[in-house]
Chain A
Amino acid sequence: MIGALVRRELRLSLRRGSSIVLPLAFMALFVLLCGLALGGSRPELGPGLLWLAATLSILLGLERLYQPDQSSGALAQLHLAGVGSGSIAAAKAIAFALTTLLPLLLAAPLLALLLGMSGTQIAGTVLSLVVGGPALIAYASVSAALLCAQRGGAVLSVLLSAPLLIPVLIFGVEAAESYPALGLGAVQFRILAGLSLLALALGGPATVAAISANRGPA
């Protein structure tokens, strides 16, 4: 069942290519602007900027996570068809990760070169995004699901998710920065992994509860 839901999501994203291209273009533009504003290559700021770009482009995608299926009544129909909110949440999260986080991960090394980052710095940043990615997705899911029935709820979703994302952002950047010296064994990586697990444990049930509260018409 989750497979069918994921395929539908992926199809919708790929058909409307902009939903994959947009976060990528946004991230590239963000790095470009940062480079210009901060005076050229600033490798020491690289991990922070890339994490910021990844976070912002995920927030950019919040609106299309649940809102279209809420307003078209698909969430209600899935419920009546006996599909649990848990499967919906899992499928949406997987598809969201594949269409936003994965392209960003693939693009991050190229953007890192723009910032003049070294090979180990790039590896550290990409690895920290992989480890912290589940937390980003989990909190994005909750805040998107909470306000999917509200017109223009996306701005408020960003406001709701930002405080939750702060620890992830802090330890993501710390982990990326500690990688060249300490590798994957750095305590920051372990904390980041812990944050991701916690975010899944917390965000999963909360997303399910929010979907159940929101499946009726607005």
Chain B
Amino acid sequence: MAGSTLTLRLQDIALSRGGQPLVAGLNVEVSGGEALWLTGANGVGKTTLLLACAGLIAPDDGKIEWEAGGSARTPADVAAYAAHRGPERDGLTLGEELSFWQRVSGDTAALDDRLAGVGLAGRENTPVAGLSAGQRRRLGLACLMAAAKPAWLMDEPLAGLDAEGRALVERCVSEHIRAGGLAVIASHHPVALPGISARKLVLSA
């Protein structure tokens, strides 16, 4: 982990989706060891904001800066993004999919450990097409951990999960932040991160 010098700075951000303005003049700064919980009604711009932080779309106005170790970074240097829907393709098995993303991210952990870490032990031969929504969410979490980036951008990480799964996500995020990481989490459900410095960004219509 890059330590506590990691910073995400949003300056005067204006965002729109499909020509529809969502939010303007947004300023916020998040540092390593801290979580930011994005919340608000559907369509208010939570996902758009995450995408902008990940550098996958450009804000209409303003600047998004990532900084680590005192120098500016690109989102791809420091951030991992767990989208609402994972990148998995039907036709592969869980093991093939996860080990592909491990390989791409240069993750050296054993596949079995990664699977066990998200409660999917022994399921490497399950076809991706046969996974439930909650299991896909767990796969996404495993990919996020495999990416080994200090900043986590998570879109609805708790949706579709059972109580045990929600606890798992919250535990993983807490551990990540305690290790000096940063997390921006868009979620309808309250994210319980006991003992973690967290703020709530409410987008309200």
Q: Do A and B bind each other?
A: yes
CA A15 to CA B91, docked complex, whole Å: 6
Count B interface residues, CB 8 Å. 26
Instruction: Answer yes or no: B75 CB below 8 A from chain A CBs.
Output: yes
| Total inter-chain residue pairs, C-beta < 8 Å | 66
Whether a CB of chain B sits under 8 angstroms from the CB of A163 is no
Complex CA distance for A217 and B52, rounded to whole angstroms: 11
Residues of chain B with a CB closer than 8 A to A1's CB: 103-104
- Residues from chain B with a CB closer than 8 A to the CB of A82 are 76
Closest-by-CB residue of A relative to B143 is: A77
* Cβ proximity bits B146-161 to A, threshold 8 Å, 1 near / 0 not: 0101000000000000
- List of A residues within 8 angstroms of B75 by Cβ: 80
Give min CB distance, B76 to chain A, whole Å: 5
Q: How far is the CA of A217 from the CA of B55 in the complex (A)?
A: 11
B-contact 0/1 string along A1-25, CB 8 Å cutoff = 1001000100110011000000000
**Residues from chain B with Cβ under 8 Å of A36 in the complex:** none
Q: Which of A197-218 contact B (CB under 8 A)?
A: 215-217
Interface of B is mostly: mixed
Q: Would A76 and B81 count as touching, CB distance under 8 A?
A: yes
Which of A66-74, A105-113, A137-145, A181-189 lies at the binding interface? A66-74
Chain B residues with CB below 8 A from A68, complex form: 89
Cα distance, A81 to B77, chains bound together (Å): 8
Rounded to whole angstroms, the CA-CA distance of A216 and B50 in the bound complex is 12
CB contacts (< 8 Å) of B170 on chain A: these are none
Chain A residues with CB below 8 A from B79, complex form: 80
Question: What residues on A are CB-neighbors of B83 within 8 Å?
Answer: 73, 76-77
Cα-based distance from A15 to B96 in the complex (angstroms): 12
Cβ of B77 to closest chain A Cβ, rounded Å: 8
9 A–B contacts from the bound complex (CB under 8 Å)? A11-B96, A68-B89, A72-B85, A74-B87, A76-B83, A77-B87, A80-B76, A81-B104, A216-B51
Report the 6 A-B pairs with minimum CB-CB distance, sorted nearest first: A74-B87, A15-B91, A216-B56, A77-B87, A81-B104, A73-B83
Instruction: Identify 17 new A-B residue pairs, CB closer than 8 A, beyond the known A11-B91, A74-B89.
Output: A4-B103, A12-B89, A15-B91, A72-B85, A72-B87, A73-B85, A73-B86, A76-B56, A76-B83, A77-B83, A77-B101, A80-B79, A80-B80, A80-B81, A80-B149, A215-B56, A216-B57
